[in-house]
Homo-oligomer: A and B are copies of this chain.
Amino acid sequence: MLDTVPADFETAVRAALPEAAFPELSAAYLEEPRGRYAGSGGLLVAPGATEEVATLVRLAQAHKVPIIPYGGGTGLVGGQIAPAGPVPVILSLRRMRSIRAVYPEENVLVADAGAVLAEVQQAARDVGRLFPLSLASEGSATIGGVLATNAGGVNVLRYGNARDLCLGLEAVMPDGAIWHGLTRLRKNNMGYDLRHLLIGAEGTLGIITGAALRLSPLPQRHGVGLLVVDSPAAALDLLALAGEVAGDTISAFELISGRGFEFFAETMPEMRAPLDPVPAWSVLIDLAGASGFDPEGALETLFARAAEAGLVSDGVIAQSEAQADALWALRENIPEANRRIGSVSSHDISVPLSEIPNFIETATARLAGIGDYRINCFGHVGDGNLHYNVFPQPGRSRADHEDERPAIKTCVHDLVHELGGSVSAEHGVGRLKVEDLERYGDPVKQAAMRAIKDALDPHGLMNPGAVLRART
């Protein structure tokens, strides 16, 4: 038997909203992808319009019932699951998934918060435009979710994070009032930027119900190369050189380690390095530009200049879309190979770009003092965002290292903090990293966050326990 919200609240909500707003609460709403959090119940409400969201929020405030907003359910930090405390309303935006309008001549698209990211991408492509936010979970993740968590992905280097792709918001504030902020403007200095405050607040300051999104011209020419570098430091030098050669056409710049190819050999032998010997370090570089751009030419120029500078020893440049896809498949399958090996501990971190070599070297050295691991370090090196994942040696399993996990996490996060980095680069804080935020976050910023939270949501009912500890 699932826990239930207070009966008088449920009665009031059911009287105020249409029948369609009350789908059955399935188990999916009480779990998260990695199984770290499980909710114990609640009332699932799926409003069909912004006004219905506002009605629900007002009733929840009147009855002091917490609200957990739920997007695509793909978050990895427990932001969408409330495992403890008073029984909440689970607010799903799944019935609000329309593309409200597309303005190709403005490079703007306006969508409901429940619209699925992949559908928004497609709607942009349908009018010859690009919505560049791209994530592994784009088939399920919603616009409201990617904005609430300020999601990242593979195109951040060129196009920015989710917040950089949002021109305006519509939201229901904690008191149930609707903020009509769906502006389609590129320049607007009418007061504090409430948009950027709600983006990344993970539903703790209000419910995003709609967004005006920024589109880009759809690139007409596209090229991909895999270049072999000696070291992460050489990869950074290559990035700087690529800036000179290819400017803003660099859409992705992803580091791949030899460990990734080793894991492929063990778990997915069909994935093979197109280079012999298998490189200890390589970079996948993706260039995209307008019709006059010559991506193969730019990649060849880059390769020649990088080889001359001693940065690159070998490489392959895709000569067809199929070859480009095959190179991207190497990068995209790394997480799957990792999953098959089974990590002891995984870390989504960022550091200043120039600290990347130091981070990789020092973290590896320090972890050797804890245990004997294999490390697969890869990711969005152009953004300073690495996935630094720790695995057992062959013949051992993650279970063999269970006790070491907290020490590994602390070791990696302490180093990230020492180097001026972030222990939550693109996944958000959710409930998983509230303690990390308290430990590593700036105390003055933490105090300001608490003051803002208390001012806008004095009863602490909006996604309590996410980002900031719930008041007890």
Contact = CB atoms under 8 A, between A and B. Distances in A.
A456 interface: yes
A243 B156 contact: no
Contact of A161 (B187, B194, B298, B426): B187
Contact of A298 (B173, B290, B385): B290
A352 B184 contact: yes
A86 to B, nearest CB: 24
A190 B243 contact: no
Contact of A291 (B173, B185, B245, B448): B245
Contact of A163 (B193, B423, B455): B193
B425 A188 contact: yes
Interface string A327-342: 0000000000000000
B190 A290 contact: no
B248 A216 contact: yes
B243 A177 contact: no
Contacts of A179: 442, 444-445, 448
Contact of A237 (B105, B218, B248): B105
B105 A444 contact: no
A139 interface: no
A57 to B, nearest CB: 12
Interface string A164-190: 100000000100011111011111111
A428 to B, nearest CB: 5
Contacts of A350: 185-188
A239 B106 CA distance: 9
Contacts of A193: 150, 163, 196-197, 199-200
Given A190-B437, A422-B185, A424-B188, A451 B444 contact: no
Given A248-B217, A444-B177, A448-B456, A189 B292 contact: no
A136 interface: no
A384 interface: yes
Given A290-B247, A383-B187, A201 B192 contact: yes
Interface in A73-114: 103-108
Contacts of A9: none
B240 A191 contact: no
A125 to B, nearest CB: 14
A429 B128 CA distance: 37
A381 to B, nearest CB: 11
A152 to B, nearest CB: 5
Given A186-B385, A383-B186, A429 B191 contact: yes
Given A240-B104, A290-B244, A444-B173, A467 B192 contact: yes
Contacts of A10: none
Contact of A196 (B104, B197, B423): B197
A354 to B, nearest CB: 5
A447 B174 CA distance: 12
14 contacts: A106-B384, A107-B243, A156-B186, A183-B352, A185-B421, A186-B382, A192-B200, A192-B452, A220-B247, A244-B290, A245-B292, A292-B294, A452-B456, A454-B455
Interface of A: 103-108, 128, 149-150, 152, 156-157, 160-161, 163-164, 173, 177-181, 183-194, 196-197, 199-201, 205, 216-220, 236-237, 239-240, 243-249, 289-294, 297-298, 301, 350-354, 380, 382-385, 420-429, 437, 440-442, 444-449, 451-452, 454-456, 467-468
